[in-house]
């Protein structure tokens, strides 16, 4: 849980003071779940304060995919064409998708199609796999995948 913290309206001095006061806490996910621990080492290479995006690694069709952007505002899961091609799935596997996507570079993007693929998150023994529907788009991006609300809900 995140509570309080510096905002863009705060002065540089206030933000600097806040970043010095940050602490790491253990968070118990559930009585049977894992203990999540954040330590100062987790901040290695990160300039604080920050509002960086959550970018993770995932496994899609047995391929380790990096630069997976978790976007709680996205109503669709997106797989970019470059990553789709590297996974080596035949384009014939794509299903027609007539609905265009918006907010990509502030204009409409027509997906190449959609496909359901197995997506795995986590490490054994807590690794979970779900079948996720992705819209495949031919747009340049710093990311390979966007996981939106549908994927987050599935997990």
Percent share of the chain, pLDDT over 70: 69
Residues 114, 137, single domain; the answer is yes
CA distance 10 to 23: 20
Give residue-wise pLDDT tens across range 113-129: 999 999 999 888 889 99
- The enclosing domain of 142 has a CATH number of 2.40.70.10
Beta bridge partners of 137: 80
Strand ranges for the chain from DSSP E? 26-28, 35-37, 54-60, 63-70, 78-80, 101-104, 107-109, 113-121, 128-137, 145-147
Give residue-wise pLDDT tens across range 136-146: 999 988 999 99
Give residue-wise pLDDT tens across range 20-46: 555 555 555 556 666 666 677 776 776
Helices (H), 48-95: 81-87
Residues 43, 99, single domain; the answer is no
Residues 59, 124, single domain; the answer is yes
Residues 94, 129, single domain; the answer is yes
| pLDDT value of residue 1 | 28
Note if the pTM is more than 0.75. no
Whether the CB-CB separation of 148 and 77 falls below 8 Å is answered with: yes
Bigger pLDDT: 70 vs 10: 70
Rg of the chain, C-alpha, whole Å: 19
Domain membership of residue 135 as a residue range: 54-154
Q: How confident is the model at residue 50 (pLDDT cuts 50, 70, 90)?
A: low
Number of domains in the chain: 2
Bigger pLDDT: 106 vs 70: 70
Looking at every residue in the chain, the average pLDDT score rounds to 81
Q: How confident is the model at residue 104 (pLDDT cuts 50, 70, 90)?
A: low
Residues 17, 64, single domain; the answer is no
């Amino acid at each position: 849980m995140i509570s309080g913290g510096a905002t863009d309206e705060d002065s540089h001095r206030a933000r600097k003071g806040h970043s010095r006061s940050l602490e790491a806490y253990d968070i118990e996910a559930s009585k049977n779940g894992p203990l999540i621990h954040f330590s100062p080492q987790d901040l290695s290479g990160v300039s604080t304060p920050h509002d960086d995006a959550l970018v993770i690694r995932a496994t899609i069709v047995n391929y380790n995919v990096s630069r997976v952007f978790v976007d709680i505002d996205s109503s669709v899961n997106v797989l970019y064409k470059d990553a789709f091609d590297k996974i080596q799935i035949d384009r014939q596997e794509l299903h027609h998708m007539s609905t265009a996507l918006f907010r990509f570079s502030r204009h409409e993007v027509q997906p190449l199609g959609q496909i359901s693929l197995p997506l795995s998150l986590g490490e054994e023994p807590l690794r979970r796999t779900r079948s996720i529907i992705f819209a495949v788009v031919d747009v340049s991006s710093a990311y390979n995948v966007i996981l939106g609300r549908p994927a987050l809900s599935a997990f």
